[in-house]
Structure 1
Amino acid sequence: MLKRFTVKNYKNFKDEISLDFSKIAGYQFNKDCLSMGLIGKMLIYGRNATGKTNFGRALLDIKTLLYGMFRNDENSVLINADSQEDTAKFIYEFQFGSDEVIYTYSRFANTELCDEELYINGEVVFKCDFKNSKFYFQGLSIINAETVNTNRYLNKGEMDNEYVLPFLRWFINNTAFSDNSVLIKLSKYVRKMDLITVSNNNQIHLSMFSYRKFFEDLKNPVYLHNFEDFLNLMGIECKLVLQELPDGQVELYFSQNKLVPFYSTASSGMLALTSLYQKIVSNLSLIYLDDFAAFYHYEMAEKLISFIKNKYPECQFIMTSHNTNLMTNKIMRPDCLFILSSKGTLTALCDATERELREGHNLEKMYISGEFEKYE
């Protein structure tokens, strides 16, 4: 699981900003917000333009680096406009059982790598300084990979002409590791990280592939029943039917006295909820849900958080919201509620006041009255 994330000089985050999943207070309620000794479910609040979406993009940068497509796109990694530094710095600290993995790298504005380092249990596995063409691979013996032919990687013929290939990406793809290898665990975790945002048309961005796969999954009666149960759990009482059309396509309907087409009659909130379900139903490791409650009544948003906690206890969920009704100890806890300030600081509510916050405190009332204003 992700233990700590730090980014510096990325877009509106000029100074270093960190999210520490291991900083847990001693609260004895809502322990389902925790997972394996780390924060598993959290809510981040922040005024408009504080960088909640940018923080999510920064957090998911590692997935783009290791598994995405590279482009020299100046908007992909944008250096802070007021900074004199020419790179953005990313630090990921993971915990897999008793193993601690730290992966750190810097990227220029055009997304190209400047440097890259990997540590396992405090020992250096490799260091790559692409800017100065200096490389250290002696630590590969730590993971019994000292026989890997690093000259193949360093050979320009093995590298793309348009960008510097991350060594970790090449290393994982060109080395036979056992299934219990810490690097295989890291690889699987990063692959299953995802960023989910709500678009202007109230829909969560989905690829055509995801949309088609959803309908293929609905052909399974168990999957259709689970989706129906999910909507009913969210307070939408309905019965669903999937029917095949004469052209071979399938259509989803509400089953009433007559069949009513689902997608043409569902409300914008229900469509956003459906799109979200299509994404979170996958087996993911970490999900950044940006402004997830924008189109939900606060009671539905509460039910959604409860569903997430019960259904996905081991998946780390980071949710951003402006809905202060969710700032409550009824479903969360002060060490899992954060404020992102316009200055680029991230502070848990339990650290944003001199009071000792307890289960009985009305956190929303305190927030609205300005109790935490210093950290906004």
Structure 2
Amino acid sequence: MLTKFRVRNFRNFKDWFEVDLNTDRSYEFNNHAIEDNVVKHGAIYGKNGGGKSNLGLAILDITCHLTDVYISSLLKNNYLNAFSDLELAEFEYHFVFDNQEVVYKYGKFSIESAIYETLTIGGVEVVSIDRRDSEIATYNLVGSENLKNDFTGRTISPVKFLKSNALLDHNYMNEIFDKFLSFVSGMVFFRTLTKSQESYGQPVSSSRVSQVIIEQDMLNDFEVFLNNAGVQCKLKQSGSQGEEIIEFDFGDKSIEFSQVASTGTLSLGNFYFWYLKLKSKDITFAYIDEFDAYYHFSLSRLIVQLISETNSQTIITTHNSTLMSNNILRPDCYFVLDSESLTPLHKLTDRDIRKAHNLEKMYRSGAFDE
């Protein structure tokens, strides 16, 4: 899992900005949201324009040079902080796999390739390069001894090159290395919009949402999901093979789902697409931005409950204070973002927060204002 992240000189993060998902709290409720003293399911609150979306994009930056994802032109624009004199955007990730810490640091001029990289496993440096000094990479994994390490004229990451070209021996360090790259390949940032899907990270199938639901034989489950979400309906499948669509079944008449569904229902359809991926374990880490922009507060609670029951590590962003409840997550899983820090609720007050406390009431009354 991701345990800590730091970034500077990227978009609105001029100075070092840290996300620390480690926790030492011993709350005896909603322990499903914590795994090995790390926040597995968290929620971020912050003002409009405060950087919630950019934080998600910063965390997903790692996928832009370690995987084969499509890089949107929107991500390439305004990459470096406009007020900084630094030439590089710098990123630092801390992960834990099988109780071993993996630390990956790099700096970039632009989104596509890193200028320097260092990867350590259990305190041992296993990959490094600094193109400002030399185009020669160093490797320290069994099986990488004869791997080409001269990257003159090439922008590929040595970490990615090692994964793609070396036949690494089966030992503990190499297994941790593989788990690190598998985790990165499963990271995703997404928004559940209406008629479109906005996502970065893990490649998304070009298939329509309805087609994916039908191909996975999940139409009945999708119908149950919508009804539980308050959309009373009956669904049916129609269309020829490869062109299947979902329709609302009104008995003597049926209408294509996308033609009559409300904005919120269309958003639910897109969320369900991602929910299937979360349940299937295709996604290791999901940063879900503005997930409830079109949802009633009770529906938002249902969505958070479904997300927190998956095996993926997840962070959602929201303005919905009704979700700030000890009946849903824990005080160490709710974070408040400002221009300088991301802080869990329990560190924003001197009070000893207990399960009976009304977090939303405390938040609205300013109890967490520093």
Give the TM-score taking structure 2 as reference length: 0.89
Aligned twin of 2:114: 113
RMSD of aligned Cα (Å): 2.5
Change over 3 Å in CA distance of 1:280–1:65 after alignment to 2: farther
Aligned twin of 1:7: 7
Whole-Å Cα distance in 1 between the matches of residues 284 and 111 of structure 2? 28
C-alpha contact (below 8 Å) 1:195/1:290 kept by paired residues: yes
Change over 3 Å in CA distance of 1:338–1:369 after alignment to 2: same
C-alpha contact (below 8 Å) 1:94/1:101 kept by paired residues: yes
Q: Deviations over 1:44-74 (max 9, x none)?
A: 0000111000000000000112113579999
Paired residue type of 2:28: Q
Give the alignment partner of residue 238 of structure 2, picking from 232, 239, 243. Answer: 243
C-alpha contact (below 8 Å) 1:45/1:320 kept by paired residues: yes
Structure 2 residue 187 is the aligned partner of structure 1 residue 190: no
1:240-279 correspondence runs (5 A)? 240-245=235-240, 249-257=243-251, 258-279=253-274
Structure 2 residue 163 is the aligned partner of structure 1 residue 172: yes
C-alpha contact (below 8 Å) 2:237/2:247 kept by paired residues: yes
Structure 2 residue 304 is the aligned partner of structure 1 residue 305: yes
Residue 217 of structure 1: how far off its partner (Å)? 4.2
Whole-Å Cα distance in 1 between the matches of residues 242 and 113 of structure 2? 46
Q: Deviations over 1:83-137 (max 9, x none)?
A: 2211111111111113221111001146542210010100111221111216452
Residue 358 of structure 1: how far off its partner (Å)? 1.2
- Aligned residue pair count: 358
Paired residue type of 1:187: L
C-alpha contact (below 8 Å) 2:137/2:158 kept by paired residues: no
Q: Deviations over 1:328-376 (max 9, x none)?
A: 11101110000001x23100000011111111111111111112222xx
With 248-257 and 3-12 compared, the bigger mean Cα shift is at 248-257
C-alpha contact (below 8 Å) 1:86/1:109 kept by paired residues: no
Whole-Å Cα distance in 1 between the matches of residues 131 and 358 of structure 2? 52
C-alpha contact (below 8 Å) 2:289/2:317 kept by paired residues: yes
Whole-Å Cα distance in 1 between the matches of residues 198 and 70 of structure 2? 18
Whole-Å Cα distance in 1 between the matches of residues 325 and 187 of structure 2? 27
Whole-Å Cα distance in 2 between the matches of residues 203 and 296 of structure 1? 17
C-alpha contact (below 8 Å) 1:74/1:109 kept by paired residues: no
Give the alignment partner of residue 211 of structure 2, picking from 199, 210, 215. Answer: 215
Whole-Å Cα distance in 1 between the matches of residues 208 and 26 of structure 2? 45
Q: Deviations over 1:183-242 (max 9, x none)?
A: 22112111111100255x674437994443751541453x22222222223232322211
Aligned twin of 2:146: 148
The unaligned stretches of length 5 or more in structure 1 are: none
Structure 2 residue 131 is the aligned partner of structure 1 residue 101: no
Residue 17 of structure 1: how far off its partner (Å)? 1.5
Give the SS at the match of 1:334.
coil
Structure 2 residue 349 is the aligned partner of structure 1 residue 362: no
Change over 3 Å in CA distance of 1:114–1:72 after alignment to 2: farther
Whole-Å Cα distance in 2 between the matches of residues 132 and 72 of structure 1? 30
Change over 3 Å in CA distance of 1:308–1:71 after alignment to 2: closer
Whole-Å Cα distance in 2 between the matches of residues 42 and 354 of structure 1? 21
C-alpha contact (below 8 Å) 2:144/2:167 kept by paired residues: no
Whole-Å Cα distance in 1 between the matches of residues 78 and 130 of structure 2? 19
Give the SS at the match of 1:133.
coil
Whole-Å Cα distance in 2 between the matches of residues 149 and 209 of structure 1? 33
Give the alignment partner of residue 324 of structure 2, picking from 327, 337, 340. Answer: 327
Aligned twin of 2:81: 80
The unaligned stretches of length 5 or more in structure 2 are: none
Paired residue type of 2:123: G
1:344-363 correspondence runs (5 A)? 344-363=340-359
User: Percent of counterpart pairs with the same letter?
Assistant: 31
Aligned twin of 2:32: 32
Whole-Å Cα distance in 2 between the matches of residues 268 and 290 of structure 1? 17
Whole-Å Cα distance in 1 between the matches of residues 147 and 265 of structure 2? 53
